Amino acid sequence: MKINVAVIGASGYSGLDLVRLLSQHPQVKLTAVTSERYAQQPLDRLFPTLLPRLNILLEPLQPEKIVRKADFIFIALPHKEAMEVMPFFMQSKKRVVDLSADFRFKDRRLYEKWYQKHSAPELLASAVYGLPELNRAKIKAARLVANPGCYPTSALIPLLPLVQEGLIAPGGIIVDSKSGVSGAGRSANVTSLFCEVSESFKAYSVSNHRHQPEIEEQLSLAARKPLGITFVPHLVPMNRGILSTIYADLKKPLSLDAVRAVFKKYYGKEKFVRIFPEGMLPQTGWVRGSNYCDVGFVLAGKKKLIIISAIDNLVKGAAGQAIQNMNIMLGFKEDTALEQIPIYP
């Protein structure tokens, strides 16, 4: 018995990766895929990577049609658009994983400060932050899962265990992240043009990127007190991948083995988090196309911990994590359709 699934926003980079991975899911039947720009076009003509696996037409987003066709819905729309349709999907008793930022915040004021007025704030309390390795039990029972942002995934997987264990001194956390250009989505944008991006490397939204308050809210919930970070994202000329270099001050000196023991406690049984041995540091090229988050670390002096994490922003940072969440919500084996070995080189 297969579950009928819809992907809203299937013509975008995250939506397309959802379709790519879901088409290999033995318990899923893709029954609706949406796009306004490409409505009525066959999806595999638009994206021949899917030939001949999928024979389905893109359709404009009409929520009342979607709920007739699907029992489980992925929303891969820009923020603001997602919260417009969410109340109807919830009233229709569907289960949803939303890839936008609209339901990631517990504090509505924080969302409204960094994004815009929330049109469905009544759903924020029940939405579950979908970081499976740290929130599995709540995800299982949730009807609405807010898939984490790509940068937050790369920062929170390494930081949350250390913060939860009370090992990090407040005030000194620096997250220095570099992302490939697909992080900006597929819509036409001058800053994503080849000539703007290739042969160049830049910082952007320094200390005012919208993923900063998302990381801070999750860290503060874990620490049970407000915890701020310095966050500097960069754009690098590659298609996929995020590498985050994280600097944190330990409250008291710890050995590498002691830090490793904390990661082992949280991730020892986790398939998608690979803690690297001493002397090995993650690279984006080692996770490309996969649902892995790789984590390596070194100590600089007695109390400065430097952690490097790498993810594919479209897989563990978006579509793969979303499917991992669906697998948990529906009781499927958690790695179903997510067993890809990274593509290298």
Closest approach, Cβ 238 to ligand NAP, in A, equals 12
177 contributes a contact to ligand NAP by CB under 6 A: no
12 contributes a contact to ligand NAP by CB under 6 A: yes
152 contributes a contact to ligand NAP by CB under 6 A: no
Alpha-carbon span 95 to 118, nearest angstrom: 20
Give residues 219-278 in contact with ligand NAP (rule: CB under 6 A).
Answer: none
183 contributes a contact to ligand NAP by CB under 6 A: yes
22 contributes a contact to ligand NAP by CB under 6 A: no
320 contributes a contact to ligand NAP by CB under 6 A: no
314 contributes a contact to ligand NAP by CB under 6 A: yes
Strands 174-179 and 242-249: antiparallel
Alpha-carbon span 4 to 69, nearest angstrom: 7
List 31, 154, 182, 325, residue binding ligand NAP (CB under 6 A): 182
Over the window 27 to 46, marking each residue x when it contacts ligand NAP by CB under 6 A and - when it does not, the resulting string is --------xxxx--------
Q: Are 19 and 4 in contact, with CB atoms under 8 Å apart?
A: no
List 87, 172, 185, 228, residue binding ligand NAP (CB under 6 A): 185
Candidates 8-16, 88-96, 251-259, 287-295 — which segment interacts with ligand NAP by CB under 6 A? Answer: 8-16
Binding site for ligand NAP (CB under 6 A): 9-15, 35-38, 61, 76-79, 81, 99-100, 149-150, 182-183, 185-187, 313-314, 317-318
Please identify every residue annotated as catalytic: 150
